[in-house]
Chain A
Amino acid sequence: MVHGKSAHDGETTLALKLRVWRQSRGVPGHFEEHALAAVPTSASFLEMMDMLNEQLIRAGKDTFAFDHDCREGICGMCSMTINGMPHGPLPGVTTCQLHMRNFRDGETITVEPWRARAFPVIKDLAVNRSAFDKVIQAGGFITARVGSAPEANNTLIGKVVADEAMDAAECIGCGACVASCKNGSAMLFVGAKINHLNILPQGQPERERRTLAMVKTMDEAGFGNCTNYGECQAHCPKSITLDVIAKLNRDYLRARVKGFFSSTGKPSKGGD
């Protein structure tokens, strides 16, 4: 996934101009401009941010808060909008896996938090993504109490189905899909989880209930709807594709229709 650049050369460094979002809790934010010299091209984007923060500490100023943890592209915690693009210009990578060899000497880089109504800013570049957790809590699971699981090989799952589930399950829950969408839609995230669970045999008993509950919670959390811009697909660091949204819509429709026809006229006993 290297993009037309020459092979890695550890010696090269960059001088950068950085426009970075500064915001305290409950106060409107603004951009701050900083110059940063001698950034090695082998450094990751977050190591560059570390360098900036160390420079701020030496000047006795507050650092920029940003979320990050594993720094190997899997925890989903890092979340920066770089030059207007969530996770920056490279497709298929998180901010922490973006390296400075992808930038030019003298370049101005704008760094912002995720911008979405459902993800309020906590400080500087860190946002609150607990709305994602709420969606999962509503139905993003297969009920399987510890102690009650049958022998694993009793459930046959063809490789093709297992691979398709895994493709969807790779979602890291970072929120770049929401941040990139004009509507602030979380349908790529929700669609990925629905696809993972709804195509597996273990996921069938709760299929309708899960779909309805997750969509309801997603709407309540303030996420918008999908109008097929496709920005989410372009910025997803795990390259989850738009078809998960089509399948989410299909399963939602299926659940609504099934709910309508399966009505016996008796009062509902749970579910939706």
Chain B
Amino acid sequence: MKLESKTPAGPLADKWNNHKAKLRLVSPANRRKYHVIVVGSGLAGSAAAASFAEMGFQVSCFCYQDSPRRAHSIAAQGGINAAKNYQNDGDSVRRLFQDTIKGGDYRAREANVYRLAQVSTNIIDQCVAQGVPFAREYGGLLANRSFGGAQVSRTFYARGQTGQQLLLGAYSALSRQIGLGAVKMYTRHEMLDLVLIDGKAKGIVTRDLVTGAVESWASDVVVVCTGGYGNVFYLSTNAQGCNVTATFRAHRRGAGFANPCYTQIHPTCIPVHGEDQAKLTLMSESLRNDGRVWVPKNTTDTAKPAAEIPEEARDYFLERKYPSYGNLAPRDIASRAAKEVCDEGRGVGQVIDGQRLGVYLDFSAAIKRLGESEVRARYGNLFDMYENITGENAYKQPMRIFPAVHYTMGGLWVDYNLQSNIPGLFVGGEANFSDHGANRLGASALMQGLADGYFVLPYTVTDYLAGVGLSDRPTTEAPEFKAAVKEVNERVAKLLAVNGTKSPRYYHKALGKITWEKCGMARDKAGLEGAIRDLQALRKDFWENVKVVGTGDQLAPELERAGRVADFLDFGIMMCLDALTREESCGGHFRTEFQDAGEAKRDDGQYAHAAVWEWQGEGQLPARHVEPLVYEETQLSTRSYK
């Protein structure tokens, strides 16, 4: 597998501008002759599809939801970072870059991260122009808040619904292009294969979820922006439909999958309440601006109501362990600290499987300082949501929170141009591995999605198209398309034909139990080896005993789930293998064998690289390749938030 990062030469600050100046262009008259397929309609997908159409390319965009506005970017709550320095607190592009690369525990590609910080300011301009109603000061200027892992206030927000407002902005730009006929939008369509001709990506195969029709689509380039794979853990903060199928199908066609073991566990989620639960709900990280995290000092106090535990018997463990960042320590660190106190028997809330898995997030000090009405103004919708789900009033008693799977930093390997190792396959947003290393800082996912969609892909995809030329697009009559459609049809038929006894959800839950226990917040060699064996056995059981009800020619949610779970089973094995072979701890990847009194212990000598996995065929373990990470201007140091 050839893994050339294509990082441009020159000083970090000049790389992107120099590179842009060299990228080839396609003349306006020729652009309409090229067909661009965009899969996914979240921030990256919508932004890219709208941008390509504005430039004049023919665009087809696909999503599995009933409308592009429903993509899971919509659920991001807290905000979006940008190096505007509106608060005069010493922020700059360089500082946002440094925070992000340090936050990622020095496992991201330096040049990509710098570019992300550079274009962050354009994103805010673009969104304001579209009418995104960001929070404002009374004087009419934009407001900011602070977020985890940073000592400046650079986060722009729209109440607790920043992702919604940014997505609706991108959706409105996309909708305008659909209305103009420049984008053909296909909703309730799921990508089930990537079609390669002479080694280049030339189209996709989809299944129409309403009619069951399997169709193929030819194009000059394919851009996949289909999000992350957090649902490999079954319970996560992801939407129910989020899945790895599009990226995994591309992986099976030869695309390298990078760093699948880098998964982010978000510290502030509502704890699990029961075994029929299908979803975990995030409470925005912004709550940690004013909420204080604590557990009782004594294990004997854990069953008492919070109000009965006096101040001196409380352990504000984040403030104690990380005095300079306190409750705003980065996500991986805050999550592990919460797990640690619960493992010590000091967790609070219901006992599930013999353990209390929860810590308090307490607003009483903030309410005393600011008044209840100000706290309500800042976080009212989150408090309402918490009350809806738990039946508890967080103005009167502390919230209970526990870490949950939230985001996945790994994804399809891409070079500096966001092109995978398959020519013509570009990957944007959470679906790629590009910018967050081993841990993502808060308010950076929205930034990356829009950076890729608005400000990177339009340049780099154009350059690719200029090189492909006009005469190279096949039709769907080509044998490669016919073969791919046949394979997809056979797979659907195979899932329906097993006719066993256990539901797809049963397998999804079983998969999640293995991955969460063995490849969650803490991992070790024996556990991961066991997980791989268990997953292989589960995969065998799935193909022998799954029961998929419904028919292939109507809306069939069980069939959709079965296909996604089948890919998650293969993918889960690869994720555990990646965690097993990375014998160090970094960011969200914590191997208990490699630690320094509870802090992650990196091994820069051996593992300052991206691990990239290559598909080796059905039932085979994938092969590991590496892209060394070269740091030209960054001094690798132990990440300290103390």
Contact = CB atoms under 8 A, between A and B. Distances in A.
The finding on whether chains A and B are genuine partners in a shared complex, rather than unrelated, reads yes
Interface of A: 1-2, 5, 7-8, 10, 24-25, 40, 42-44, 46-47, 50-51, 53-54, 56-58, 60-63, 65-77, 92-93, 97, 99, 101, 122-124, 126, 128-130, 132-133, 136-146, 148-153, 155-159, 162-163, 165-166, 169-170, 172-173, 196-197, 200, 202-203
A136 B173 CA distance: 10
A44 B390 CA distance: 10
Contact of B505 (A50, A61, A145, A172): A50
Given A10-B350, A170-B159, A202-B129, 15 more contacts: A2-B393, A25-B555, A40-B276, A47-B278, A65-B555, A69-B240, A70-B70, A71-B239, A72-B279, A126-B555, A128-B66, A141-B130, A144-B126, A148-B129, A159-B138
Given A5-B391, A74-B75, A159-B140, A56 B239 contact: no
Identify the interface centre among A42, A92, A144: most chain B CB within 10 Å of its CB: A144
B558 A200 contact: no
B178 interface: yes
B390 A141 contact: no
A221 to B, nearest CB: 13
A97 B124 contact: no
B161 interface: yes
B129 A150 contact: yes
B133 interface: yes
B130 A142 contact: yes
A138 B549 contact: no
Nearest to B279: A71
A178 B133 CA distance: 25
B214 interface: no
Interface of B: 47, 50-51, 54, 65-72, 74-75, 84, 86, 122, 124-131, 133-142, 158-159, 161, 163-165, 168, 171-173, 175-176, 178-179, 185, 187, 210, 237, 239-241, 273-274, 276-279, 281-282, 350, 384-385, 387-393, 454-455, 458, 503, 505-506, 547, 549-550, 554-558
A62 B549 contact: yes
A268 B334 CA distance: 61
Nearest to A72: B281
B131 A200 contact: yes
14 contacts: A7-B392, A70-B72, A75-B71, A122-B210, A141-B172, A142-B131, A142-B172, A146-B54, A146-B173, A146-B455, A153-B141, A162-B133, A162-B135, A166-B165
B142 A152 contact: yes
Contacts of A173: 67, 69
Interface centre among B128, B141, B550 (most CB of A within 10 A): B128
Contacts of A99: 388-389, 391
A42 B272 CA distance: 10
A92 B454 CA distance: 34
Contacts of B555: 25, 65, 122-124, 126
A152 B239 contact: no
B67 A197 contact: no
Nearest to B273: A42
Given A57-B547, A69-B241, A71-B278, A138 B131 contact: no
Contacts of A65: 554-557
Contacts of A142: 129-131, 172
B177 to A, nearest CB: 9
Nearest to B67: A133
B385 A69 contact: no
Q: Chain A contact residues: over half helix, strand or loop, or mixed?
A: loop
Contacts of A136: 69, 171-172, 175
Nearest to B501: A58
Contact of B72 (A1, A61, A66, A69): A69
B67 A132 contact: yes
A53 B277 CA distance: 14
B128 A130 contact: no
Contact of B385 (A62, A72, A101, A137): A72
Task: Pick the most buried of B129, B175, B555: most chain A CB atoms within 10 A of its CB.
Answer: B129
Nearest to B458: A146
Given A71-B239, A141-B172, A93 B388 contact: yes
Contacts of A203: 131
Given A136-B172, A170-B161, A57 B558 contact: yes
Given A162-B133, A166-B158, A137 B70 contact: no
Contacts of B393: 2
Contacts of A53: 558
A172 B165 CA distance: 10
Contact of A71 (B69, B122, B240): B240
A173 B68 CA distance: 11
Contacts of A58: 503
Nearest to B68: A133
A71 B387 CA distance: 15
A137 B67 CA distance: 12
Contact of B276 (A7, A43, A124): A43
Contact of A51 (B140, B276, B281): B276
B67 A130 contact: yes
Contact of B165 (A44, A68, A169): A169
Contacts of A145: 54
A75 B549 contact: no
Contacts of B171: 136
Contacts of B134: 162
Interface-central residue, B50, B135, B387, B549, by most chain A CB under 10 Å:
B549
B26 to A, nearest CB: 16
A141 B179 CA distance: 11
